[in-house]
Amino acid sequence: MTHPKLLTEYDACDLVEMLQAQKVTVRAVLEACLARITTINPSVNAIVSLRPNADLLAEADAMDAAGPRPDQPLWGLPMAIKDLEDTKGLRSTSGSPIFTDHIPDADSIMVARLRAAGVLIIGKTNVPEFGLGSHSYNPIFGVTRNPYDTSTSAGGSSGGAAVALATGMVSLADGSDMMGSLRNPAGWNNVYGFRPSAGLVAKDPQGDAWSQGLSTNGPMARSPRDMDMMLKVIGQPDPRQPISLPAYNGMEKINPKNVTIGWIRDWSGYLPMENGVLAQCEVALDILRNLGCEIVEYTPKIAPESLWDSWCILRSHSVALSSIALYRDPQKRAHLKDAHVWEIERGLSYSTTDIHHAGIIRSDWFREIARLTHINLLALPSAQLFPFNADLDWPKSIAGKQMDSYHRWMEVVVPASLIGLPAVSIPAGFGAKNLPMGLQLIGKNAQDAQVLGLADLYHQATQLPQNHPPRPE
C-alpha cells in the first residue's frame, strides 16, 4: 500500500504549477516545509539561520492574499539560500566567525533574481568556512551530515543545500561551484547538481569584471527539469558584465543515439579511486548506453599533472586576491582556518610567470576539448571516494595514496572547473555500504541545454532521488 504523496515529495516544477493554479496555498507548502525541517534538520544540520516561523507564515499569507503573478515563475516556492550568498536582512556568515553577525543590506544578484521570481526565502544552507573544502563544517553552525549515514560527510561546499533537497526540506536549491561544490555534494546525496558554463550565471558587478573567475553559481534539485526551471531565472545576462553568455532558454530534447560519451575513468590510473567508485559509475553509464548513447574509453592527451599544477596556481591566486584584506588584518586573520591561510600564502607566492604558464595550460586544455569531434561529452566520477567520516576535516588518503593538500582528494572535478565547462552530476546509485555516488557528465562550452537534456533522459529512466530517498529520522 502506497502512502499519499506529501507536499515535500513533489518536484519543484509540480509545486509551482499547483501554486500558480491555486490548487495549494503558499502557507500549506511552507507549513509542510517547516514541519519537515523540524523533524529532519536536528539530525543533519543542513538548514541554518532559519527565519522565525511567524514572519514566514505572515509572508506566505500575504502572498496568498495577493495571488500568483505570471511574471514570477517560482512564485510561493520556499527556498533556503547557500550561506555564501548575501541575502538582504538575513544573517549571511559564509561559515566564518568574522561574519557571525553579518546582516547584508542588499541581495546578491542571484538572490535578487530568485526573489524577483517569487521565491519565499526561509533561511540559509550550511557551508564550509568561505566555501573552502568539500566537507560542510564550520565553527558557527557545526557539521552537516549525510542523511544516508549521519556519521559521514555531506560533501561541500553546497552540502547543506544537497541534504536539504535529499530529505525534502526544500524542493529547489542554489549552490556554487569552484572545485566541485555543486557536483560532489549532489553525488553524495543522490540528487542533481549543475555547474553552468562560465558566464551563463551573472556574478555580482564588482571588482575586476574582465578576469574570468573559476567559480560560478548554479542550481541543485531532485530532477533536471527543476534545475532547468531555476536556470531560466538565474541564467540571464547582466549588462554590467563584459564576459557573459546569452540567456538560457531551456534544455534541449536529446536523441541519445546521436550522443557519444568519452569515459575517462581514473585517467589511466592517475586518479586514485576508492574501490567501488568506478564500478558504480559504470552502472550509470550502462543506463545511458541502454538509452542509445555510445560510450567510449577516452584518455585526454594533456598531462593530468599539468592540469593540477595550473589549477593550484590559479585557484590559490584567486583565493589570495579575494581574501587579502582579511589576511592583512591580524584580528581577522586569527579567525581564518589553516587551509585558508595556506591558500592565501601560496597564492601570494606565485610569480607573474607562474600565473601566465598556468593560463597557457588552461588554454591548451580548452583547445583540446574544442577539437573533439567524435565525442560530445566527457564522463568522470563526481568524487574519488564515497562519503567519509564526518568527524574528519578531510580524507588523508585514497586507495593507499596520500593526499598532499586539503583539496587533492577532489582532483576529479578540476577538468571541468579549470575551463568553465558545463557539468552535471547525476545520481549513479549506491555502493557496498549503501552510500550514494554521482557521475559527472561534462559538455563543451555553452552546451548547457544539451547537458541538461541528456540528464533529463537519464532521470526519466531512473528516478533515483524519488525511488531511494534517505530515512534519517
Kindly report, residue by residue over 44-60, the tens digit of the pLDDT. Answer: 999 999 999 999 999 99
Report the share of the chain in percent with pLDDT over 90. Answer: 96
Q: Summarize the confidence of residues 179-202 as an average pLDDT.
A: 98
CB atoms within 10 A of CB 276: 16
Average predicted confidence (pLDDT) for the chain = 97
In a domain, 189, yes or no: yes
Task: Kindly report, residue by residue over 259-293, the tens digit of the pLDDT.
Answer: 999 999 999 999 999 999 999 999 999 999 999 99
Q: By the 8 A CB rule, do 258 and 212 touch?
A: no
Active site residue: 92, 181, 316, 425, which one?
181
pLDDT at 208: 82
Domain membership of residue 121 (yes or no) is: yes
Helix H or strand E segment including 59: helix 53-66
Give the mean pLDDT of 289-300.
98
CATH at residue 97: 3.90.1300.10
Q: Average pLDDT, stretch 338-366? A: 97
What residue numbers bound the domain in which 143 lies? 7-252+446-467
Note if 244 is an active site residue: no
pLDDT band at 212 (very low <50, low <70, confident <90, very high): low
Q: In the numeric block, which cell numbers belong to residue 150? A: 549521519
232 catalytic per annotation: no
pLDDT score of 9 more than 50: yes
Residue 257 lies in a domain: no
Catalytic, 82? Answer yes
Instruction: Please give the average per-residue pLDDT across 22-51, as a whole number.
Output: 98
Is residue 114, in this structure, part of any structural domain at all? yes
Structure confidence at residue 471 (pLDDT): 86
Look at residue 1 in the predicted model and tell me its pLDDT: 47
Is 100 a domain residue?
yes
Task: Identify the weakest region by mean pLDDT among 34-48, 233-247, 374-388.
Answer: 233-247
Report yes or no: 174 and 79 within 8 Å, Cβ to Cβ.
yes
How much of the chain exceeds pLDDT 70, in percent?
99
Give residue 387's pLDDT: 98
User: For residue 211, what pLDDT is reported?
Assistant: 73
Per annotation, catalytic residue among 153, 157, 382, 425 = 157
- Asked whether residue 440 is domain-assigned, the answer is no
The residue length of the chain stands at 473
313 in a structural domain: no
* Number of domains within the chain: 1
**Residue 473: what pLDDT?**
57
> pLDDT band at residue 243, thresholds of 50, 70 and 90?
confident
For residue 380, the SS3 value is: strand
State phi, psi for 387 to the nearest 5 degrees: -50, 130
Question: Whole-model pTM?
Answer: 0.98
Residue 145, in any domain of the structure: yes
Cis amide leading into 92 (omega within 30): no
Per DSSP, what are the bridge partners of residue 137?
143
